[in-house]
Amino acid sequence: MVLDTIIVFAVSLLIGALGIYAGARVIVDADDYTYAIVTALIGAIIWAVVGFFFGWIPLLGPLLVFIAYLAVINARYPGGWIEAIGITFVAWLTVLVVLYVLAFFGVMTFEAVGVPGT
């Protein structure tokens, strides 16, 4: 059971990192998948911590969690908040497509670590 959880987390993290890598590649021309993996891991941790403390607040909680995630993207990649939003949007679209294809073929469920909303 623990091994299954670790494998699912690792695969989900790699898929989330793929989305961040694609977003960073398109928006700011960054080309480092390892950097995207670390960013996805940091983003997932920040998402969980901020979500734990503030996520329960109606409307404001999810907004604060998302802003914290964007702050991670903004801090890790060049540009400003607009580029961070662009990277996050492209990451979300990329992960959505990858997860849809994987779920369609029954490989995994429709969720990923490191990209919000998936």
pLDDT in tens, 67-88: 999 999 999 999 999 999 999 9
pLDDT at 83: 97
Q: Please tell me what DSSP assigns to residue 107.
A: S
pLDDT, residue 107, reads 75
Answer yes or no: are the C-beta atoms of 23 and 84 closer than 8 Å: no
pLDDT category of residue 117 using cuts at 50, 70 and 90: low
Mean pLDDT across the chain, nearest whole number? 89
